[in-house]
Homo-oligomer: A and B are copies of this chain.
Amino acid sequence: MKNSRRHFFKQAGAGMMALGVSSALPAGKLYGMAKKKGPAKPDLFNVAVAGWTFFKFKLEPSLDMLERVGAHYLCIKNFHLPFNSTPEQIAEFHSKCKAKGVTGYGVGPIYMKSEAEADDAFAYAKRVGVNIIVGVPTFEMLPYIDKKVREYGYLYAIHNHGPGDKLYPSLESVYAKVKDLDPRIGMCHDIGYTAMLGQDPVAETYKYAARIHDIHIKDVTKASEEGKDCEVGRGVIDFPAFIKALRKIKYKGMCSLEYEKDNTDPIVGLAESIGYLKGVINGTK
C-alpha cells in the first residue's frame, strides 16, 4: 500500500510556485502523470477577485468570502480602503487581508477627471504599495497620466465598459487613445463588456495583447447590449479558448473575477465562477 501511495500521490511542494494559482490549484497532482512528459508549466497569470464584486459589503465580510472561495488576490476598491486613508489605516487593511490569505494587488477602477484626482490616485497607489492602477481617465487627462506613469513606473489599465460607455466602450477605443503613449498605459480588459459589444473577447485579447495589463473576468447571457451578468461558464464566453489565449500571449497579470449578479449575496455565484475558471485553467493545461 505504501509503495502504491508514493507512486500516485507524490506531493509537489518544492516545485510549486509561491503564487496564488498554484497554491489554489496544486500543479503537482500526479495521478497518471507518469504517462506525461512532465508536469505542466505553471501559468504566468493568477486568479483574483475585483473589489467591485463586494460593493455592497464592508471589508471584513468581503475578506471572509474571499477566504471561503479560496481567492488570494484582490483589486482594491476605495469603498474598502478610502483614498484618504492614513498609513496606519493602510497597514491595518493589509493586516486584515493577510489574516485571510489575501493580497491586494492593485487599486481601482478609479475615475480621473483632473490633475488633482490623478495626483491623488498615484499617491494613493504608492501608499497602498501596489504598482497597478485600474483607471478611467477623461481623454483630456491622458497626457498627464502618461507623465505620471513615467514618473511612478506603474501600470495603468483603462477599463472598457461596453455599450453606453462614451469614453471607452471597447479595447479598440482605448487603444486609439493610448497607442502613442507609454506602453505601460493599456487596458483592464473587461471581457463581459467586450462580449456585450458583440465582439469576441478571445480575438480582442490577441489583438491588443501587448497593452492588456489587467483582466476582469465575467460571463454574460447574450453577446449584445441585452446580455446580463451570469455565473462564469453559464454564458456565451468561450473560457477554454480565452485561457489558451492568455497562455499564448504570455499574459502575466491577474484574472480578476468581477461577479456582478446577486450583488447582495454574491458568494454562491462567485464560488461557482471561481471554480469554473480554475477548472478551465486546469482542464486546458
Interface of A toward B, CB cutoff 8 Å: 1-2, 4-5, 8-9, 24-26, 29-33, 68-70, 197-203, 222-224, 231-234, 236-243, 267-269, 271-285
Contact = CB atoms under 8 A, between A and B. Distances in A.
A-B complex: 9 closest residue pairs judged by Cβ atoms:
A279-B279, A283-B283, A275-B275, A5-B198, A9-B223, A272-B275, A275-B276, A31-B238, A276-B279
A211 B113 CA distance: 67
Given A236-B9, A268-B271, A202 B32 contact: yes
Which of A2, A201, A278 has the largest number of chain B CB atoms within 10 A? Answer: A278
Nearest to A222: B9
* Number of this chain's copies in the complex: 2
Contacts of A241: 31-32
30 contacts: A5-B224, A8-B199, A8-B203, A8-B223, A9-B222, A9-B223, A25-B233, A29-B236, A31-B202, A31-B203, A31-B241, A32-B202, A32-B238, A33-B238, A69-B272, A70-B231, A70-B234, A233-B278, A233-B279, A240-B285, A243-B283, A272-B272, A275-B277, A276-B276, A276-B278, A279-B282, A280-B280, A281-B283, A283-B284, A284-B284
A67 to B, nearest CB: 11
B32 A198 contact: no
B198 A240 contact: no
Given A4-B198, A200-B31, A271-B275, A282 B282 contact: no
A279 B284 CA distance: 9
Contacts of A232: 275
Contacts of A242: 31
Contacts of A276: 275-276, 278-279
Contacts of A224: 5, 9
Contacts of A284: 283-284
B283 A279 contact: yes
